[in-house]
Amino acid sequence: MQPIVDTSLWLAHKRRALARPAAGADFLMRRAAEELAERLGAVERKFDRAAVLFCQTSAAVDVLATSGKVADIVRVEADAAFLGDGAGGDAAGLVAPLETVPFEPESLDLAVSLLSLQAMNDIPGMLVQIRRALKPDGLFLGAFAGAGTLSELRECLLAAETEFYGGASPRVIPFTDVRDAGALLQRAGLALPVADVETVTVRYDSLFGLMADLRAMGETSALIDRSRRPATRKLFARAAEIYDEQFSDADGRVRASFPIVWMSGWAPDVSQQKPLKPGSAKISLKTILENPGGR
């Protein structure tokens, strides 16, 4: 598999963002944590042991700890710096390479990942590892930036660079769409797979406000094939003009899209519902359609 993301650079960006926190820049993680709380609340069972995988902040751990549904929580990060954010309750902490799940087979009841899968080069392999680490009937809940994320920024940067240089280099990583996410869950061997998407639209005074937030999130470009040509102020100024022309509202503010894809799946277990075999129905669809009232 040809890697797309320079994960070492991605982690460097994350460490820089951690060292220079900006108020409010964690809005996507806070939104994801709120959604995680709702989704976990809809699951009517408790979990003995959970792992929170590469979430970079304590937000997911805090949700699990306050839910009252998880007895033991292990937080896994790619750098010890992320474990030292001063939160996370009594969760144990492990440092492991990104894209690894450092647990024995069938040792977890719950695995959670928020807003890091999009930076991994081998998402299918990561999901297979998660599936292997889950006990039978163990649950995986994950969220990542999906297809369409920063589509406005991508379009404006490409247009500006084409004007200036007669061609363009990619500056925004490719993202997985919701249909592929469902297929990846099935490919990993997870049962009852569900994938859905929620688009968060954020408005800014200009492109420069968006870029400031991306830096504060540690989400500036980490593409391996990114342009090595230094980006000039003129390039970004032109991209900002195009952004204003194409993606501004009546009040002059511009929009930025963040589709968040949610995934859930269960490690297979004999207790789970199974779809009926083709041809096993007791009554035909034709009969139902011809007799809607059962007459």
What whole-number distance in Å separates Cα of residue 35 and Cα of residue 4? 29
pLDDT value at position 174? 80
CB 52 within 8 A of CB 29: no
Estimate the crossing angle of helix 59-67 against helix 27-41, to 10 degrees: 30
pLDDT tens-place string over residues 172-205: 778 899 999 999 999 999 999 999 999 999 999 9
pLDDT value at position 221? 86
Between residues 195 and 227, the one the model is more confident about: 195
pLDDT tens-place string over residues 33-63: 999 999 999 999 999 999 999 999 999 999 9
Would you place residue 11 in the very low, low, confident or very high pLDDT band (cuts 50, 70, 90)? Answer: very high
pLDDT value at position 92? 81
pLDDT tens-place string over residues 236-266: 999 999 999 999 999 999 999 999 999 999 9
What whole-number distance in Å separates Cα of residue 204 and Cα of residue 241? 14
